[in-house]
Amino acid sequence: MSFIHKTVLLDEAVDGLNLRADGIYVDGTFGRGGHSRLILSRLGPNGRLIAFDKDLHAIAEAQTITDPRFTIVHDGFASLGASLDALNVPVIDGVLLDLGVSSPQLDDGSRGFSFRFDAPLDMRMDTTRGITAADWLNSADEKDIAEVIRDYGEERFAKQVAAAIVAGRSERPLSTTGELAALVARAVRTREPGQDPATRTFQAVRIFVNRELEELALILPQALARLSVGGRFSVIAFHSLEDRIVKRFMQDQSKHDLPDRLPIRAADIPPAPLRIVGKPVRASADEVAGNPRARSAILRVAEKAAP
């Protein structure tokens, strides 16, 4: 089936890269290729784009691009350093990350990402490797389940949800999204208006199964080490956990960690590794009206400074 994907903050994210026609760029989250295609359209004949994605459907879409300037890597972006080494690319001029789950992944009920469909409880972005959500939920300790749901879903009823999952699996192993959603609905006593009781639990389990936050924390220093002077990060986050990691990294790398009262002149202090570019950007009202999933998106841009 074909699932529609509207690329969020398309022009804003690519503009943030401040593209050079002959530069080498990384799209760490190819998805359905919206950002990649726009980058390619702005590169010159000597430019290059290397894209990453775990999802086999995304890889299939990427393989329809026959542009010789384009390379697709079937792996998560945390493999950036090793993958660039394998491609003999020591330096890049920018990296774009569009974080989180994509619309096709949510809308394809068979993937198990959404409580809107009763489907196998998988949730893996890369279905060729790793443990499924069902396998983990049926084997993990109640304490570990509660911690994941609390930390990754910011669910205040995490203990109750974990207890309900363990009690439910003792009668019959969890195998579908519908079964998990029903257990959560009985455990969560109240929820924000318009939000399904299972929203936070599904987010938490998906993030954990795919190691989303760990991989984000891994790629940022790797990308900084590979960026050329003037090279840029352009990162779109969709929830507070991932945005917090991006924000703190950019802030930490944009200032010096020098002891107080150090007798050194300001002119002698070398620039910090990064320079934050502009203010965070959010989707316009028109974009949100046409694509409600854009409402939580936030774009941050930073540039590597001269040493």
Least Cα distance to 93 among 46, 150, 141 occurs for 46
Q: Is 53 annotated as a binding residue?
A: yes
The answer on whether 105 is annotated among ligand-binding residues is yes
Q: Is 115 annotated as a binding residue?
A: no
Q: Residue 34 annotated as binding?
A: yes
Residue 141 marked as a ligand binder? no
CA distance 160 to 188: 7
Q: In 3D, which of 226, 295, 259, 194 has the Cα closest to residue 87? A: 226
3-state secondary structure 189-223: CCCCCCCCCCHHHHHHHHHHHCCHHHHHHHHHHHH
135 is in an annotated binding site: no
Task: Give the SS3 label for residue 31.
Answer: coil
- Give the C-alpha separation, 73 to 299, whole Å: 24
Q: Is 230 annotated as a binding residue?
A: no
User: Alpha-carbon distance 265 to 269, whole Å?
Assistant: 7
Binding-site residues sit at: 33-35, 53, 77, 98, 105
Q: Show binding-site residues for S-adenosyl-L-methionine.
A: 33-35, 53, 77, 98, 105
